[in-house]
Structure formats: structure tokens, C-alpha cells
Amino acid sequence: MTTLINESNPFTNALSQLSRAIKVVSSNEDIIKRLSSPDREIKASIPVIMDDHTLQIYEGYRVQYCNILGPYKGGIRFHPDTNIDEVKALALWMTIKTAVMDLPMGGGKGGITVDPKKLSKNELEKLSRGWVKKLYPILGPNVDVPAPDMNTNSEIIGWMSDEYKNITGEKTGATFTGKSLDNGGSEGRTQATGLGGFYTFDAIRAKAELPLSCKIIVQGMGNVGGYAAQIFHDHGHVIVGMSDSKGGIINQIGLDPKLVESYKKEHGTLAGFPGAINVTNNELLTTATDVLIPAALENQITHENANEIKAKLILELANGPTTPEADDILFARNIPVVPDVLANAGGVTVSTFEWEQNLKGEHWTESEVLEKLKSSIQKQTLTIWDSSKELNTDLRRSAFILALSRLSKKLS
């Protein structure tokens, strides 16, 4: 496998991350062969009768990347730029992530190319149910277990889970995770990704020589970024920057994430938030801070801006926000990047707890769920941190090496 350099293709980047890791510690050749392409990739045309009675056809996807460790697991993304290469990259990262967390799950991902903001609720429900109508034969609690991702939430997952049950008669509800609590969801799932990111950071804060109260910038304020900002704020850190797709705001004295959320709800934008200055997303990324948290899309930190980053640590809550070229620049500049396959693994970890609870017919308390999440993600974080020091490599390579060793063991 060669190092590929098309920096904007996330699948190229994901394969490149894999080949970079095996240059540090060689891995079982069969596992590398297995991971060079997905087990299965499916495209489906989803017909939807719109509110004006016209027919629209949407393109939907499911990529089942690798099930060596268990059923395929991964979210479903609704986004206008979603395409098969993005879904393949996300599915490969899921394969690495579940192995990093030592979960009994494989890696998969799904999506639909659509701007959900342009759909009515009725159209969105038809589209969500339509994805299941086309793909239900390849799903199931022991086969493939989807979850939410960008622009999908417990309501959409509820429609999908309901459609799946209606078609197949399956009763455990374990085919979809990220459901609402009254629909078989797990305590702690909604905030799990942001909280998992905080636990990861907390385990290495002192090792990274960062102060007890850090300045934090968060890009993206959806499920992941919104919770992350609130959780870091609640733990005494100072949120100096936040953004959404239209742009960001900076206030060096500190922002209250709740007030920023309600300002956005009222005005539809962050611009003009009292006491803050308006910035573009690129200006936000290159503003001085202790911790930068990308929590939106891929390819935000590239060779073009990596030299301008002024954060002391990057905590990747989005999937794929840093390209391999940027990784090299940041490593040379001694800026640790806590990789997505570890930092945002709280979501899939609690999703796996939800699947387990559904299969066993149990309901765990919030404190049980969060305690399990904290101890498992902090244990993996410390292992990855220590091995990166031993191997003199970055945290991403170290995480991939750990994942590859677990996958190889299971294969042999």
C-alpha cells in the first residue's frame, strides 16, 4: 500500500493513516489486505413523494467495512456532500474505533445525499423510512446496527427502528441505537460523544502540561460540539470560541454555551452575539487557545492552515478533521492531536451499551453507563498516550497500531 496524497478525499486519507501506522509497527498482512477495501458497499435509490406530490429520488448508502470483531456498527449521515467515498472513510474509521475501544462490534457507516434543512418533517420521515425499506435485508442486531450521525437524531432513528420492526417483526429493538429513552434508548447516549471526548482529554491534560482551567475553542455546535462546549464549561474550562456552518464568534473572557445556543435559536446565526467578535471558520481554527475541538466536518485542518494553528492540543470530536499532511506538520510542531478514533468513541461505546441492554432486556442507570464509559475510554487513552511516547510517534498512529493488533489477534 502506498501513501496517497489526494488530501480532500477522506477515504484516501483513511487508507493513508492505515499505511502510515504500519510503517511504525508492521502488522499481520492479512488484516491489512482485509482493511484495504470494505466487505460490502451498497448504493440505493430512495423514492420519496414530496409534499407537492412530485417524486424525488435520493441516493442512499450503507458500507459494511469489517465484521471481524462483531456486527457492523456505525451512524447514518444526512448531508448534501455525502458520497460513497466519505461513507467508506467513516466506515473504516468505525472499524478502527471499535477496535480501539475493545468493543464487540465491527465498522460500518451509512448516509443519504440530501440537505435535510430543505425537507418538511413529513418528507424527512418518508426519506428515513425509505432508507430502511431499501436496506433492511442487510441489517439486524447480529448483522449491522446503525446509529445517528450528522443531521440525524433520536427522532429519525425512531422512524427507522419502527420501519424495521414493521417490516421484519424483530422485537428487541437492538437493530438501531441512539433511540430516545422511551423507545429503548440508553441513558447517557445523547451526550456520550461530547462527554467521552472530555474524559479522554481529562485523562491526559496534566501529561500534556495543560492548566486546570483551559481556554477551549469548539468548531460546530450540533449534538457533539454543543454538548462538548457545555461539558467543558461545566468543568471549569473557558469556552473562548464557538462556530456553526455560517461562521464563529470569539470572546477571550469566555462564552456561556447556553446563551450562545439560545442566541442562535433566536437569530439563526452566531454573528452579533453580544461581547464577541465575528470570525470565519478558518479564523476560528487559527485563533490562539489551549485546546481546539473540531466537531463538525472532515478536512478542516490541512497542509494549508496547520502551520497557523495556535492551539496547544487538538481534540478531534469530528471524524477526519485533520489530514495526514496536517498531522505531520502538527507532530513536528509538537502539538498533540487526540484522534477521532479515540476522542469521539464515546458515542459508539454507549451505542454498544444500548445494543447490549436491548438484547438482554435491561435498563442501566445513567451513572452505571457513564462510569463504564469513563473507565473504558480513559484506560484506552492512557494506553495510546504511553505507547505513542514509547514508539516516538503521534497519537493517531499509536491508536491505529493498538486497533490493528486487536483485529489481528481475532483474525488468527
> Alpha-carbon distance 267 to 4, whole Å?
43
Evaluate whether 71 touches 105 at the Cβ level (below 8 Å): yes
Q: How far is the CB of 219 from ligand NAD (least distance, A)?
A: 5
219 binds ligand NAD (CB under 6 A): yes
223 binds ligand NAD (CB under 6 A): yes
279 binds ligand NAD (CB under 6 A): no
- The answer to whether residue 360 is catalytic is no
Cell of 79: 448531508
244 binds ligand NAD (CB under 6 A): yes
Classify residue 300 by burial, with Cβ atoms within 10 Å: 0-12, 13-18, 19+. Answer: buried
* Full strand arrangement of the beta sheet holding 40-49: 40-49, 55-66, 107-113, 72-79, 144-148
319 binds ligand NAD (CB under 6 A): yes
> Alpha-carbon distance 337 to 339, whole Å?
6
- The H or E element containing residue 200 is helix 192-204
221 binds ligand NAD (CB under 6 A): yes
Return the number of the residue (190 or 408) whose C-beta is nearest ligand NAD: 190
193 binds ligand NAD (CB under 6 A): yes
Residue reference for cell 445556543: 261
314 binds ligand NAD (CB under 6 A): no
> Alpha-carbon distance 104 to 121, whole Å?
35
Return the number of the residue (69 or 224) whose C-beta is nearest ligand NAD: 224
The residue range among 27-35, 218-226, 265-273, 386-394 that interacts with ligand NAD, by the rule CB under 6 A, is 218-226
Return the number of the residue (200 or 393) whose C-beta is nearest ligand NAD: 200
Return the number of the residue (12 or 191) whose C-beta is nearest ligand NAD: 191
46 binds ligand NAD (CB under 6 A): no
Evaluate whether 183 touches 161 at the Cβ level (below 8 Å): yes
Return the number of the residue (38 or 226) whose C-beta is nearest ligand NAD: 226
Under 8 Å CB-to-CB from 389, ≥6 apart: which residues?
none
The residue range among 60-68, 135-143, 215-223, 366-374 that interacts with ligand NAD, by the rule CB under 6 A, is 215-223
Cell of 331: 507532530
Return the number of the residue (22 or 301) whose C-beta is nearest ligand NAD: 301
Letters for 139-178 (x = contact with ligand NAD by CB under 6 A, - = none) are ---------xxxx---------------------------
> Alpha-carbon distance 4 to 155, whole Å?
39
317 binds ligand NAD (CB under 6 A): yes
> Alpha-carbon distance 18 to 184, whole Å?
36
Which of 110, 185, 220, 336 touches ligand NAD by CB under 6 A? Answer: 220
293 binds ligand NAD (CB under 6 A): no
Instruction: Identify any residues that bridge with 337 across adjacent strands, giving them in sequence order.
Output: 314
Under 8 Å CB-to-CB from 35, ≥6 apart: which residues?
18, 65, 66, 92, 95, 407
Task: Specify the length of the chain in residues.
Answer: 412
309 binds ligand NAD (CB under 6 A): no
Letters for 345-364 (x = contact with ligand NAD by CB under 6 A, - = none) are --x-----------------
- Report the 10 Å Cβ neighbour count for 57: 10
Residues in binding contact with ligand NAD, number by CB under 6 A: 24
222 binds ligand NAD (CB under 6 A): yes
Evaluate whether 154 touches 183 at the Cβ level (below 8 Å): yes
Q: How far is the CB of 318 from ligand NAD (least distance, A)?
A: 3
Q: How far is the CB of 261 from ligand NAD (least distance, A)?
A: 10
Residue from 109, 179, 264, 312 carrying the catalytic annotation: 109
Q: State in Å, rounded, how far the first CA of the chain is from the last one.
A: 22
Which of 87, 145, 296, 399 touches ligand NAD by CB under 6 A? Answer: 296
The residue range among 48-56, 166-174, 202-210, 220-228 that interacts with ligand NAD, by the rule CB under 6 A, is 220-228
245 binds ligand NAD (CB under 6 A): yes
> Alpha-carbon distance 178 to 157, whole Å?
7
DSSP assigned state of 301: B
User: How far is C-alpha 22 from the chain's CA centre?
Assistant: 23
Return the number of the residue (175 or 243) whose C-beta is nearest ligand NAD: 243
Rounded-to-10 torsion of CA 31, 33, 35, 38 = -130
Evaluate whether 215 touches 242 at the Cβ level (below 8 Å): no
Q: Which residues make up the interface to ligand NAD (CB under 6 A)?
A: 148-151, 193, 219-225, 243-245, 281, 295-297, 317-319, 344, 347
Q: Which residues are identified as catalytic?
A: 109
